[in-house]
Amino acid sequence: MAKFENSDDIKIIVATDCGSTTTKAILIEYTNGEYRLTTRGEAPTTVEAPFEDVTMGVLNAVAELEELSGRKLLDENGKFISPANGKDGTDVFISTSSAGGGLQMMVAGVVRSMTAESAERAALGAGAIVMDVIASNDKRLPHQQIERIRQLRPDMILLSGGIDGGTTTHVVEIAELIAAADPRPRLGSSYKLPVIYAGNKDAAKNVEDTLGDKVDLKVVDNLRPVLERENLLPAREEIHELFMEHVMAQAPGYKKLMDWSDAPIMPTPGAVGLIIQTIADQYGIEALGVDIGGATTDVFSVFRPGGKEAVFNRTVSANLGMSYSISNVFAEATLPKVMRWVPFKMDERDLRNRVKNKMIRPTTIPQSMEELIFEQAIAKEALRLAHIQHKSFATVLKGVQQQRTIADAFEQSSSGSSIVNMMTLDMLIGSGGVLSHAPRRQQSALMMIDAFSPEGITRLAVDSIFMMPQLGVLTEVQPKAATEVFEKDCLIHLGTCIAPVGEAKKAVRQ
């Protein structure tokens, strides 16, 4: 593939996102002085049997692009024609992936609400699903923790603990538990499980002595070098590196896909996080994005607590989704909470059976209006619950001593308070089938308003065809194209929500 020294020379871009069920391809072309999405295509993902080669689905999706755009992208050997030449070829090809379950990680730290939480934030920000968080104070006995580590078959482990120069014993204890569990990687047993150590630098040698022979250990800078500051970037970069090196390389067909791609393949949620961060930075706004899928709901946010530096957070609500996990949404939200959004009566027994039937046949769609209203009611609750989880995770750092003045005495904000401030939020972006494909746009707006309760003035938008992942990875190659397409073709602006907040005056009888 062609490499460009100047990213402005990139005029034609093909980007794919290999999801669990569908591989989506987009074609971006530079025409009339701007980058625009011109064509999209999709095909079933082919990572599982009987195909077991992800590139087949990619080629099928790209073939659809060719058919619809009239641009010949692949040569007779099924390889990309690059660089673009007139009506043929593409300048770059990039891809994201969440096929085969995405990136599944376990994280460990010493104190659950401090280093373990920072490690969780690093893993989530890199686009991982965090299977479990092990900490010295997580109330499980050591043998229970070992058993749990052994049962989980993560793609990698992120281990942190202690500030630089602090005590080394606790983090080495956790390393000993991991060594005793002798964890195996999820994909294939031909390689050692990658473990990233991002804890107290003084303990690195001891951790190496403990784990070195059993796992593939990588040591990076401490992600919590001092209590008052997180340093998540080195750990996140190492996660991406290992994702490519180990996880992707084990998945069927990915070696070929990695060869084709002009930028490292990124986990889908990691790429979505990147585009949201890019947009928030570029426009200097606070943004909150949500992607509601069949099994999980991801929430991404960029807030600037106290008007200072932008802080990015991502959470995955693993069992809040609209098909595979719909029954769990119903169970967690409870019937009365769902039914408050439904303006007619429905029989409880029948409703419960309908929810379970959607769970066991996840690809069905609402045919009647009654079914649509009920499904959107459940979506509101899934979004609301995911938002609550996000708020409780996106906090100022815990365990930090705060200096208070007398003026703060009455405002009892504690260490660990949420940085999600709906009053200062500028933009709320929705994505995922139930929001992007609602028959009426106002239904999408209502779902987001009811679930998130925006305050003050908030712009509402949805991702038209869920192309945020492709645009996220595009920011690494051609940021201008990514933001232009995001603004012009990806986002559908639904309107502005104005929600005054304050104490209402008591009504006075005249």
Partner 1 sequence: MAHAYTPGLKVTEKILVKKDRILPLKGDVLVKVGDKVTPDDVVARTHLPGNVVPLNVANKLSLPPEDLSEVMIKKEGDDIKAGEPIAFKKGFIKMFSSECNATIDGTLESISTITGQVLQRGMPIPVEVKAYITGIVTEVIENEGVVIDTYAAFVQGIFGIGGETSGEIVIATPDNKTILSDDFITDDMKGKVVVGGSLVTAKAMDKAGKVGVKGIVVGGFDDKDLRDILGYDIGVAITGNEDIETTLVVTEGFGEISMAHNTFDLLKANVGKKACINGATQIRAGVIRPEVVIPNEDISIEKGAGAKSEITGITIGSPIRVIRHPYFGRLGNVTGLPSPLHVLESESKARILEVEFEDGEKAIVPRANVEMIETN
CA–CA separation, 438 vs 478, rounded Å? Answer: 31
Please state whether the peptide bond connecting residue 269 to the residue before it is cis, i.e. omega within 30 degrees of 0: no
CB of 420 to partner 1, least distance (A): 25
**Residue ranges in contact with partner 1 by CB under 8 A:** 20-21, 48, 99-101, 142-143, 146-147, 168-169, 172-173, 176-177, 179-182, 206, 209-210, 295, 319, 324-325, 327-328, 331-332, 349-350, 352-372, 437, 439-440
How would DSSP label each residue in 237-248?
A: HHHHHHIIIIII
CB of 405 to partner 1, least distance (A): 42
Tell me which residue of 227, 267, 225 sits closest to 248, measured CA to CA: 267
Q: Could you identify the residue written with the tokens 């087949």?
A: 56
Q: What is the 3-state secondary structure (H, E, C) of 77-121?
A: CCCECCCCECCECCCEEEEEECHHHCEEEEEEECCCCCHHHHHHH
CB of 287 to partner 1, least distance (A): 28
Task: Judge whether 196 and 157 are in contact, CB under 8 Å.
Answer: yes
CA–CA separation, 359 vs 349, rounded Å? Answer: 16
Q: Within a 10 A sphere around the Cβ of 214, how many other Cβ atoms? A: 17
Identify which of residues 309 and 350 has a Cβ nearer to partner 1 in the complex: 350
SS3 state of residue 491: strand
CB of 167 to partner 1, least distance (A): 11
Identify which of residues 52 and 75 has a Cβ nearer to partner 1 in the complex: 52
CB of 437 to partner 1, least distance (A): 7
CB of 290 to partner 1, least distance (A): 20
Identify which of residues 82 and 145 has a Cβ nearer to partner 1 in the complex: 145
Identify which of residues 96 and 328 has a Cβ nearer to partner 1 in the complex: 328
Given the DSSP bridges, would you call strands 311-317 and 128-135 parallel, antiparallel or unpaired?
unpaired
CB of 172 to partner 1, least distance (A): 5
CB of 127 to partner 1, least distance (A): 17
Identify which of residues 48 and 53 has a Cβ nearer to partner 1 in the complex: 48
Identify which of residues 14 and 58 has a Cβ nearer to partner 1 in the complex: 58
Identify which of residues 366 and 416 has a Cβ nearer to partner 1 in the complex: 366
Identify which of residues 13 and 149 has a Cβ nearer to partner 1 in the complex: 149
CA–CA separation, 212 vs 24, rounded Å? Answer: 40
CB contact set of 81 (below 8 Å; sequence gap of 6+) = 72, 73, 74, 75, 88, 89, 90
Q: Within a 10 A sphere around the Cβ of 313, how many other Cβ atoms? A: 22
